Structure 1
Amino acid sequence: MRNAALPITLDAWLARLEAAHPVGIDLGLERVAEVARRMGLLDVHIAGRVVTVAGTNGKGSTVAMLEALARAHGLTTATYTSPHLVRYNERLRLNGEEADDVTLMSGFAAVERARQDGEAVSLTYFEVATLGALWAMARRPADIAFLEVGLGGRLDAVNIIDPDVAVVTTVAQDHAAFLGTDLEQIGREKAGILRSDRPAVLGSISLPASVREVAGALGAEVHALGEAFGREGENEGWRFWGHIPDIAIADLPDPGLPLDNAATALQALALAGVNLEAAACRRALASVQLPGRMQWLGQWCLDVGHNPHAAGYLAGRLASRPCAGRTFALLAMLGDKDAEGVIAALTPVVDGWVTASLAGGRARSADDLAARLAGRGADVLHRAATPSAGAAWLAERLAPEDRVLVCGSFLTVGEVLEWLAHDPTTGQTVDDTSVSEEAR
């Protein structure tokens, strides 16, 4: 595509990026680092401080709480996450606002110019997205930037930037085709974001030993949940404590997100040099929002959980919130995810299932999911061609006291969010840009 005319709309840019590289996921830093060097991104500070977050589950909620906490303390912020649910613009937030189309397209154009400056370098959708976001951040450096790893850690495009604080939330099996199934090896990949003599915040009490081994070999400063920091209590009125620096904040609100991740965010922000103020922390945690993570819209609960670890957390949350009616699950997943593990975790809290097919080469069919459920004796009520068709089928049959869990993929939740946006009973407004095929 050398010298080809540049797209003039965001949708056109995204279509171009989808088709630009022979494979969607191509782990490694050599290509992306070369283009970053040409763009000057390796010679500048993209923000006053940088916090990078890796992990199998909990990255998105941790980053959302980090951003809310930093803004409540008066800091300017830049936040990069992936994938998006409904609008690509969700991936880059500047001072709490989604980046506009012009900012994103300018970043893509800067990447394209650098990519073709000399020997052309082929980049994936995610690599261009990351470089474009970093370029936008560097143009107007914020007080603090938060970067969410897309996949793994060591070889993820985000890892070209050295963080001041690195966070590992959880380590579980996911993306087996790229990371394998050995938890110790997966832990090493996640720990690849750690840096020598800089804080490493470990946000789970059950991380594989390899994470600490990597930290020890690097000489990173380990701050582990349950040791250097932690929490006491559940739901409303919980308490955070940390030793470095010494701090305790009581009577914290329930953010509706995992409290271990909330404690991890508080510790990471303190290690980034923020003097935590109790009132600001309470204000931030009471107002933080993260679409697609235990997001309730009337009778509908939407969560992007797509592996057994995430499904287990969902099951626990639903069990702690009983309803007078039935609990239905609308499940659609990609073919490279552990469907059996997700089904096993959710079966105890689900009364009836609707399966749906996803589009694309990595999709798993509704029939495949239904067969797996039937093998466990589960009640499969309907098989739908798409998640939105499944949602429409369920909506006609729900009693007022029933509820629906929508899960299995970012693609699933994004599509049903769009469908619900047209349902006046939800009171929600969602734009109609679809989730990209690159969604993981």
Structure 2
Amino acid sequence: MSAPRTPEEALAFLARLNPSGIKLGLERVLEALDALGHPEQRFRVLHVAGTNGKGSTCAFAATALQAAGHRVGLYTSPHLVRINERIRVDGEDISDEEFGRAILDVLERYPSAVSEPMTYFEFGTLVALWHFARVGVDVVVLEVGLGGRLDATNAARPTVTAITPVSFDHMEYLGHTLGAIAGEKAGILKPGVPCVVSAQEPEALESIEVKARALSVPLWVEGRDFSAELQSDGSLSYRGPTWRLEGLRPSLRGPHQRQNAAVALACLEALDAHGVRVSTEAARAGVGSARWPGRLEEVGERPIVLMDGAHNPAGVAVLLASLRALYSGRPVHCVFGVVADKDRGPMMRALFPACASVQLTPLDTPRSLAPEAYLDEARALVSDVTAWPDVDAALAEARRRAGADGIVLCTGSLFLVGMVRARTRGP
């Protein structure tokens, strides 16, 4: 692979790296950051791990930090439509020109990335950290890609860390028990750096607490140190170590956003106590105005097309609770696609019986599982199920069956959400 010379060639270089490649370990990233002059040390960091809810929590926190007057970098993954979505400053995606220039800068200082290509995620993380330092952000909200301990983002040195709910996902990399998975997520903990922890299953919380004690990490645990309670008028009431906020109305939909908002608010409170000033007014504004596409996102009407990136059993359970709360009594016609390495069985067994029909579709990724490979499994769970050659045919059939009053639900993978989003509303 030859070294790119223009921003356009630089973007093409990134595209040629395998988006599905996973290589856990920090050695290459640490070596590269040293060559880059340690851009990750030029701003404060909120580092967020967990299985579900990371993105929403990051969105709430980043929006509030911006409302507090900080210049804010936000690094998340995966993207839905364009990779530019992963790197944002003050809510704006990085432009193609800036992206290309940042790639060239990184390759100039670390040419080994050309001769010995890194993974897509490793290299993207380097580019993000370089860009954030170059444009002079004050604070970065950094979402873990996979796990935590060996994730490329763990090269950063945070001011505050957070762990959202831990459940079963990526077991081939993280372990086959909740305790093992939580231990990998808790790998982001740093000596003495406070960590905000959502309510967890006892096995997961115990694993996090063991790690925290070993590193003298102050833990703020949901239900013990902070909480957000639903009030009779539909608003939330937050109680933290020092903050008290009433009448909160999260901009992101679904009953699970109560927990995500609570974790974000606790993170903001911890940041404020450690030198990143955030007023309660800014925190309220962040919770009330954050956007996070592809999670219970509606487009169109008659029928409504609902996109949600649930891609593991815990995510599907949250999705089903949201469907009951927001669309009770309306028939659901599901467009479903899944990657081959996901534990599809528990997802399907929970979701498909709640659907009036299911349209199976392939995904635009080499990791896609062909619909025909699990059609018989699906037929055992719902009588009206069809395998389609592409998402356009599956979406058209689901719309036809939903008519004016049904719901077209597109779920199973964020790859699918991105495909549908590009077709229904663009980037």
Same-fold status (TM-score > 0.5): yes
Change (3 A) 1:205 1:4: closer
1:218 corresponding residue in structure 2: 215
Q: After superposition, what is the alpha-carbon deviation per residue over 1:356-379, rounded to whole angstroms, capped at 9, x for unaligned? A: 112443221112332212122x13
Instruction: Report how far residue 232 of structure 1 moved.
Output: 1.3
Partner Cα separation in structure 2 for residue 266 and residue 401 of structure 1: 37
Q: Is the 8 A contact 2:36 2:106 kept in 1?
A: yes
State the partner residue of 1:333. 338
Alignment of 1:365 with 2:360, yes or no, is no
Letter in 2 for 1:132: V
Q: Which runs of 5+ in 2 are unaligned?
A: none
Query: 1 CA distance for matches of 2:117 and 2:12?
Result: 18
For residue 18 of structure 1, what is the amino acid of its counterpart? N
1:419 alignment partner, one of 396, 400, 423 = 423
**Do structure 1's residue 140 and structure 2's residue 140 form an aligned pair?**
no
Listed as ranges, the matches of 1:381-392 within 5 Å are 381-392=385-396
1:272 Cα offset (Å): 0.9
More divergent stretch after superposition (194-203 vs 315-324): 315-324
Alpha-carbon offset, residue 415 of structure 1? 0.5
Find the counterpart in structure 1 of residue 327 from structure 2. 322
1:26-105 matches, within 5 Å, as 26-41=23-38, 45-47=41-43, 49-105=44-100
What percent identity do the matched residue pairs reach?
Answer: 33
Structure 1 residues 107 and 372: CA distance shift in structure 2, 3 A: same
Q: Secondary structure at the match of 1:201?
A: strand
Q: Within 2, Cα distance between the matches of 1:106 and 1:321?
A: 44
Report the CA distance between 1:204 and its aligned residue. 2.4
In structure 1, the residue matched to 2:252 is: 256
Q: Which moved further from structure 2: 60-69 or 96-105?
A: 96-105
Q: Which residue of 2 aligns with 1:12?
A: 12
- Matched to 1:239, the amino acid is S
What is the alpha-carbon distance in structure 2 between the residues aligned to residue 141 and residue 192 of structure 1? 28
- Given candidates 272, 288, 291, the residue that maps to 1:289 is 291
Question: What corresponds to 1:176 in structure 2?
Answer: 171
**128-137 or 208-217, which deviates more:** 208-217
Inter-CA distance 136–11: structure 2 relative to 1 (3 Å threshold) = closer
In the alignment, is the contact (CA less than 8 A) between 2:125 and 2:152 conserved in 1? Answer: yes
CA distance in 1, matches of 2:74, 2:365: 29
SS at structure 2 position matched to 1:217? helix
Secondary structure of the equivalent of 2:51? coil
Q: Deviations over 1:329-380 (max 9, x none)?
A: 111000111111111222353221111112443221112332212122x133
State the distance in 2 between where 1:95 and 1:156 align. 24
Q: Structure 1 unaligned runs (5+)?
A: 422-429, 432-440
Q: Is residue 303–residue 407 contact of structure 1 (8 Å, CA) maintained in 2? A: yes
On the 8 A contact 1:236/1:254 being kept in 2, the answer is no
SS in 1 for 2:243: strand
- The structural deviation recorded for 1:319 is 1.0
Do the aligned partners of 2:3 and 2:114 also contact (CA within 8 Å) in 1?
no
For the residue of structure 2 that corresponds to 1:69, the secondary structure is: helix
In 2 relative to 1, CA 117–404 (structure 1 residues): closer, same or farther, beyond 3 Å? Answer: closer
8 Å contact from structure 1 (residues 46, 145) kept in 2: no
1:22-44, Cα deviation, whole Å (9 max, x unpaired)? x81111001111111111126x6
Matching residue of 2:22: 25
Residues 111 and 316 (structure 1), Cα distance of their counterparts in 2 relative to 1, 3 Å cut: same
C-alpha displacement at 1:398, in angstroms? 2.6
Q: Is the Cα–Cα contact under 8 Å of residues 102 and 130 in structure 2 kept in the other structure?
A: yes
CA 1:140–1:322 in structure 2 vs 1: closer, same or farther (change >3 Å)? closer
* Cα RMSD, aligned residues only: 2.1
Structure 2 CA distance for partners of 1:73 and 1:348, relative to 1, 3 Å: farther
Instruction: After TM superposition, list the pairs within 5 Å mapping 1:187-202 onto structure 2.
Output: 187-202=182-197
Amino acid aligned to 2:356: D
2:225 alignment partner, one of 224, 228, 234: 228
Residues 118, 77 of structure 1: alpha-carbon distance in 2 compared, 3 angstrom cutoff: closer
Paired letter, 1:270: E
Distance in 2 (alpha carbons) for counterparts of 1:15 and 1:173: 30
Q: Which amino acid aligns with 1:358?
A: L
Q: Select which of 395, 398, 404 maps to 1:394.
A: 398
Give 1:190 shift: 0.4
Secondary structure at the aligned position of 1:285 is classed as helix
TM-aligned CA deviation for residue 308 of structure 1: 0.1
Higher helix share: 2
> How is 1:303-322 mapped onto 2 (pairs within 5 angstroms)?
303-322=308-327
Aligned-pair CA distance for 1:7 = 5.9
Quote the residue 2:240 is aligned against: 242
- In 2, Cα distance between the equivalents of 1:344 and 1:309? 12
Partner residue, 2:350: 345
Kept in 2, the 8 Å contact 1:204–1:224? The answer is yes
Q: 1:185 to 1:71 in 2, by over 3 A?
A: same
| Pairwise CA distance, 1:120 | 4.7
**Residue 173 (structure 1) shift:** 1.1
Measured at CA, do residues 183 and 268 of structure 1 come closer, stay the same or move farther in structure 2, by a change above 3 Å?
same
- Structure 1 266/3 Cα, relative in aligned 2: closer, same or farther at 3 Å? closer
